[in-house]
Amino acid sequence: MVDTLTPAQRSERMSRIRSRDTKPEIALRKALHGLGFRFRLRKTGLPGKPDLVLPKYRCVIFVHGCFWHRHPECKVATTPKSNTGFWVEKFTRNVERDRRVSRQLEDDGWHVIVVWECDVDTHAKALSTAAALSQELHMRLAAKSR
């Protein structure tokens, strides 16, 4: 399919895509906060700028967009038909960077959790995901206390 936008229009549209305070990120933050969790946002000094940092649990959470970070088997993780080579290379770099950052954080003693955009795209899903994270974090804290 041919792009119906001029390069300038496409550039303008792409520049409006946010990298922080996205709807999925805010939905997860509200759900976790409602469960009593307190966290830091994008704590400086950590590799990869995690979206949420829970120091008490020594845990970081990334809220990844399915399209940009290539969520496996997700219908949103499609590859554009035009300029495919560029997009494949970009997606590959994103995935490799995600792996490298996760490894660095784990080597530094952090527990890394990735939440996918499609897991929090409705209020019910955000609450469900937050409940599952809550259970995992409390189990980790209990195991750490032993």
Report residue 130's pLDDT band, with 50, 70 and 90 as the boundaries: very high
Torsion angle, CA of 107/113/118/123, rounded to 10 degrees?
Answer: -150
Residue 1 has pLDDT above 60, yes or no: no
The ranges assigned to domains in the chain are 18-145
Superfamily of domain 18-145: VSR Endonuclease (3.40.960.10)
CA distance 77 to 72: 7
**Tokens 């001029």 sit on residue:** 6
Q: What is the mean pLDDT of residues 4-13?
A: 79
Residue 45 has pLDDT above 60, yes or no: yes
List pLDDT tens digits, range 9-29.
Answer: 877 876 767 667 789 999 999
